[in-house]
């Protein structure tokens, strides 16, 4: 990421020198230095630490594929520096669930009969690492049984699950509320990081499970700067953090990790156009292997983009900018 920062500085310096772009870049610098980008009496951004976040009230728009629902209104805080969308009103505590079958069910979740998204995320990471006797952790497994499908892969030695509550005994359980007891070669976290109330602290905790030469793969939506009222993902219960590419990159760099952001196959269907895999590693070699893996792949592997859905309904939802599920 040092090379990326250097290229950015060279680009900005060149733009300030060229007469054709100097005035535009100077205006942008003056805007960033203006008082409204240093708001007083507000908490610092939970990602970059700047005091440049302002409140925006957003009311959900569009038609959900699952049927009519009352419009939901939220007050979010958008950082003008890293573009992170902080959604503190949307808290949902999953520790209140008392049985596995009470947890939310999604088309992406693996069953004993068929693999789900976490299986494909782990398979991708295993192919990237290209070595044997791997220990894998499914972080925030919930009701997914993908740990069984992952354990059947030939290069896997052991699979554990981590969660905020223990509701199952089908494999080794690790209490995600406690410090990591050890590190894993592969950690997958499907639809987890958007639930972080304190992204800097909780991302550091998640990365503490990963070996220095290991790989963390997160599935989440990445905000593209479009109309938030039409981004149903923001309104799903518990989604307290909505990341931009810049904000999630800052989290990785703050923890000494490289980052790669890729589009999974499911983004072409019900997963929605903003669905991304956020891939992190502290190893230059592993990130090089990640880049090589994607030389011949347009999309990262995932569950079927039309899994358990009616395609016509989903296309209507896509046109409206709404998403029925994660």
| DSSP secondary structure string for all residues of 103-119 | S---TT---SSS--HHH
In a domain, 43, yes or no: no
275: helix, strand or coil = strand
Decide if 256 is inside a domain.
yes
Query: Quick one: 121 and 221 in the same domain?
Result: yes
Q: Are 120 and 112 in contact (CB under 8 A)?
A: no
9 phi and psi, to 5 degrees? -65, -40
Of residues 159 and 320, more confidently modeled: 159
Whether 61 maps to a domain, the answer reads no
Give domain status of residue 325, yes or no: no
Q: Which of 100, 114, 113 is nearest to 161 (CA)?
A: 100
Distance between CA 33 and CA 223 in Å, rounded? 24
**Domain hosting residue 295, numbered range:** 90-320
Same domain for 178 and 315? yes
| Residues 19, 139 within the same domain | no
Which positions ≥6 away from 129 have C-beta within 8 Å? Answer: 185, 186, 214, 215, 286, 289
Are 18 and 94 found together in one domain? no
Contact 277, 261 (CB under 8 A): yes
* pLDDT confidence of residue 163: 94
**Per-residue confidence band for 43, with pLDDT thresholds at 50, 70 and 90:** confident
Judged against a pLDDT cut of 50, whether residue 284 lies above it is answered with yes
Residue 156 lies in a domain: yes
pLDDT tier, 56 (very low <50, low <70, confident <90, very high otherwise)? very high
- Both 278 and 148 in one domain: the answer is yes
CA distances from 227 to 46, 74, 230, 321 (A): 22, 14, 6, 9
pLDDT at 143: 84
pTM of this structure: 0.80
| Residue pLDDT, tens place only, 8-38 | 565 656 655 766 666 655 545 544 444 444 4
């Amino acid at each position: 990421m040092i090379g990326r920062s250097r290229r950015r500085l060279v680009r900005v310096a060149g733009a300030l020198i060229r007469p054709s772009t100097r005035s535009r870049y100077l205006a942008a610098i003056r805007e960033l230095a203006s008082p409204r980008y240093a708001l007083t009496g507000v908490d610092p951004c939970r990602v970059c630490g700047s005091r440049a976040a302002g409140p925006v009230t957003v009311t959900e728009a569009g038609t959900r594929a699952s049927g009519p629902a009352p419009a939901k209104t939220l007050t979010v805080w958008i950082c003008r520096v890293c573009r992170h969308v902080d959604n503190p009103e949307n808290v949902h505590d999953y520790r209140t669930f008392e049985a596995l079958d009470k947890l939310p069910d999604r088309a992406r979740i693996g069953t004993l009969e068929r693999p789900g998204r976490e299986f494909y995320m782990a398979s991708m990471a295993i192919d990237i690492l290209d070595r044997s006797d791997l220990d894998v952790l499914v972080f925030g497994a919930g009701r997914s049984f993908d740990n069984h499908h992952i354990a059947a892969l030939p290069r896997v030695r052991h699979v554990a699950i981590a969660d905020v509550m223990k509701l199952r005994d089908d494999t080794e359980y690790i209490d995600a509320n406690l410090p990591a007891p050890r590190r894993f070669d592969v950690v997958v976290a499907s639809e987890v990081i958007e639930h972080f109330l304190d992204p800097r602290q909780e991302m550091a905790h998640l990365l503490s499970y990963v070996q220095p030469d290991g790989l963390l793969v997160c599935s989440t939506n990445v905000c593209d700067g479009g109309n938030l009222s039409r981004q149903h993902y923001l309104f799903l219960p518990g989604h307290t953090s909505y990341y931009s590419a810049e904000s999630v990159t800052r989290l990785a760099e703050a923890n000494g990790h490289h980052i790669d952001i890729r589009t999974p196959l499911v983004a072409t269907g019900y997963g929605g156009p903003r669905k991304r895999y956020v891939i992190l590693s502290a190893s230059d070699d592993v990130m090089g292997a990640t880049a090589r893996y994607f030389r011949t792949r347009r999309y990262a592997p995932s569950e079927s983009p039309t899994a358990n859905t009616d395609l016509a309904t989903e296309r209507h939802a896509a046109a409206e900018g709404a998403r029925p599920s994660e």
